[in-house]
């Protein structure tokens, strides 16, 4: 069935620590209806969370697909993006620090320094090759999401003590959720 005829679904988001969040994701061979359905479900899941980005490994699919919408202003038109096989092809020397969060590490935040601007190439929903420059929150978010495809989390940029403290909190959260 074509993806536009299939209703979108909210998928459960994996919580750290989980081995599926540490794996290197596999490139998408071609943008099939199954892949478009996954992208639609990921956008629905991201908006529902709510979040500004989501990567396929976060919903347990080890594929190089990310979605984003960094428009946060109330009443502004949404700008959903789905990117297959995204790759940073240029990074600025200038850096930007942002207090990042992650839907796989709920209610925990940490300052991460990353290139302020990046040029990214990817394949879109129609299978077309795209390239664009991202800055501000979009640049932070696209780098955070591509990191997920490489099995990297924002806490990997923090010091070992803060990383351990956050990981312990997540283990406790998962235990509590399993009991509920
Ligand atoms: O990848 C993810 O886990 C999503 C993550 C993306 C992200 C946030 C901050 C910096 C870099 C990347 C989130 O969306 S966390 C939630 C969040 O940031 C948010 C939630 C509601 C409104 C606005 C932002
Ligand atoms: Zn994340």
Atom of ligand 1 nearest to the CA of 72: 23
DSSP secondary structure string for all residues of 100-117: E--TTSTT--EEEEEES-
Nearest CA to ligand 1 atom 16: 51
d(CA 58, ligand 1 centre) in Å: 13
Q: Could you tell me the pTM of the whole model?
A: 0.96
Nearest CA to ligand 1 atom 9: 100
**Model confidence over 5-59: pLDDT tens digits?**
678 999 999 999 999 999 999 999 999 999 999 999 999 999 999 999 999 999 9
Q: Return the best residue to mutate from 47, 52, 107, 150 for the ligand 1 pocket (most ligand atoms within 8 A of CB).
A: 52
Tell me how crowded residue 53 is: count the other CB atoms within 10 A of its CB. 25
- Give the ligand whose atoms come closest to the C-alpha of residue 109: 1
Tell me how far apart the alpha carbons of residues 47 and 63 are, in angstroms, rounded to a whole number. Answer: 20
Checking if the pLDDT of 1 tops 70, the result is no
Catalytic residues: 145
**Model confidence over 44-81: pLDDT tens digits?**
999 999 999 999 999 999 999 999 999 988 899 999 99
**Model confidence over 104-162: pLDDT tens digits?**
999 999 999 999 999 999 999 999 999 999 999 999 999 999 999 999 999 999 999 99
Q: Judge if the beta carbon of residue 122 lies within 6 A of ligand 1.
A: no
Strand partners, 131: 121
Q: How far is CA 135 from the centre of its chain?
A: 16
H-helix segments, 54-159: 136-149
């Amino acid at each position: 069935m074509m993806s536009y005829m299939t209703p979108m679904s909210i998928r459960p988001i994996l919580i750290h620590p989980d081995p599926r969040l540490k794996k290197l994701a596999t490139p998408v061979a071609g943008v099939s209806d199954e892949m478009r359905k996954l992208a639609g479900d990921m956008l629905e899941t991201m908006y529902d969370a709510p979040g500004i980005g989501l990567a396929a490994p976060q919903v347990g699919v080890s594929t190089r697909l990310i979605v984003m919408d960094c428009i946060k202003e109330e009443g502004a038109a949404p700008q959903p993006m789905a990117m297959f096989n995204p790759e940073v092809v240029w990074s600025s020397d200038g850096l930007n620090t942002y207090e990042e969060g992650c839907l796989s590490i709920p209610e925990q935040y940490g300052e991460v320094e990353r290139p302020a601007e990046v040029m990214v190439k990817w394949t879109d929903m129609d299978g077309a090759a795209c390239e664009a420059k991202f800055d501000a929150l979009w640049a932070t978010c696209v780098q955070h999401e591509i990191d997920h495809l490489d099995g990297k989390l924002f806490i990997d940029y923090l010091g070992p003590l803060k990383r351990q403290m956050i990981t312990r909190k997540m283990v406790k959260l998962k235990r509590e959720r399993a009991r509920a």
